[in-house]
Amino acid sequence: VAQACGADALHPGYGFLSENVYLARLCEMAGITFIGPRAETIEQMGDKIAAREAMIAAGVPVVPGIERQLNSAADAESLCQQIGFPVILKAAAGKGMRLIRTLEEVRSAYEAARSEALASFGDATVYIEKYIEEPHHIEFQILGDQHGNIIHLYDRECSIQRRHQKVIEESPSSFLTDELRQRMGATAVAAAKAVGYVGAGTIEFLVDRQGNYYFLEMNTRLQVEHPVTEEVVGLDLVKEQIFIAAGRPLQYKQTDIVQRGHAIECRICAEDPENNFMPSPGVVCQLTEPNGLGVRIDGYIYEGYEIPVWYDPMISKLIVHAVKREYALERMHSALNECKITGVTTNIPYLNAILHRPDFVAGNYNTAFLEQNGEAIADYCRTNHPGEEQAQELEDLALIAAHVDYLALLERGGSSAMTSTSADPSNRWREFGKRKGVLGI
């Protein structure tokens, strides 16, 4: 398609194509600029074992583990006993991760991880790392040009995760001290320089309770959550990607980059939290998106759009920015309440419930947050967001109330009253709503 339309360059987005080394090489062969890192960098950092080896050689701290692939289930059992439980079994190519707490779980986890990795990437290679209990998942955005200049754009807190998938991200992290943030930023730059990185990328770390941090992986692409960084540092990362791909040197030095205010992103997905987060495909009947100062929404759906069953259920990203975290939280509450999507089920009530948990409000959370707060979040959703049956009852009540009011108007011969508008302060609907408590239903 790029060749057919005469494109000079191709931006692969932030999905699977963005880390597809075959696509990057095809672009090189066709003389089309791939807006991303070099193909060899994608290949090296996409292989988790090779990435670990590169980071160890560069002096970057990594999670304790075995720097080689596993040969069999028996091999996995032996190495798990050497490292000590709990451990995490990972696929070298990416997808395929299993937490193992006992020796009895090793064999089945090994086979399952290999099978998932082979189905997803055609590569069944797996390896083992020590599992860090309840860490923070913190990543640093980096930019590198074709002239050897690399800077970081500070941190993002990505610890709100379900099944290892991020749900809410924010920047800056409430957990990091200024000193730790500076050290981790310098480490991220060193990691990127070790592989001669070009383009926008992310260095991901696990940080334990004591502030020890370990390299987790490098994402050789633009991240889904890049808007929170854009909001706090004031840069357009896609624009910077294009400038870098065009051969321009970075326009900024590290000292030019400053975090201003606080940004939060919620991933809005067409899925049903009350039904084990099953995808909710269907036609979007009505869509109302929030707007206003400090509110941004990146999405693609519209009224009448049919959400298919074949792709990731994320349909938009809601981002807010404010001068302080507490104000950003208030803004996100308002924005989520203004966001209305009908025709499909979404996780908006679930996101609202997370934001109301005391530990989240205090910024006191880690990757175990959703597991530890699952019941409380579900209770909040049931209490504050009526289910389909309750919603139908409320709708019926509103219709009955409207008909009763209509009959009362007819009895008074109030045909003129029927012509009053909602802008009229004496509007009977407003008064009726205030009396009966059904205003806004």
The catalytic residue positions are 221
Tokens 């519209």 belong to 302
* Cα-Cα end-to-end distance for the chain: 48
Cα–Cα distances in Å, from 23 out to 17, 26, 35, 44, 244?
7, 5, 11, 15, 19
Q: Which residue type, as a one-letter code, is found at position 91? A: A
Ranges of H-type helices in 209-338: 226-233, 237-245, 325-338
Report the C-alpha gap between 230 and 223 in whole angstroms: 12
Contacts of 106-112 with CB under 8 Å at 24 or more apart are 106/73, 106/76, 106/77, 106/80, 107/73, 107/76, 107/77, 110/70, 110/73, 110/76, 111/73
* Alpha carbon distance 337, 346 (integer Å): 13
- The SS3 assignment for 324 reads coil
- As a whole number of angstroms, the distance between CA 363 and CA 15 comes to 29
Query: Which 3 state secondary structure label does DSSP give 93?
Result: coil
Helical H runs in 255-373? 325-338, 348-356, 358-361, 369-372
Contact 85, 111 (CB under 8 A): no
Distances (CA, A) of 57 to 67, 195, 234, 327, 329: 12, 11, 34, 43, 41
Name every residue whose Cβ is closer than 8 Å to that of residue 297 and which is 6 or more positions away in sequence: 289, 290, 291, 316, 317, 318, 319, 339
Evaluate whether 402 touches 409 at the Cβ level (below 8 Å): no
126 three-class SS: strand
Our measurement of the distance from residue 312's CA atom to the centroid of its chain's CA atoms, rounded to an integer in Å, reads: 12
Pairing of strands 262-269, 150-162: unpaired
Ordered alpha helix ranges (H), 357-387: 358-361, 369-372, 374-384
Whether 97 and 153 have beta carbons less than 8 Å apart is answered as no
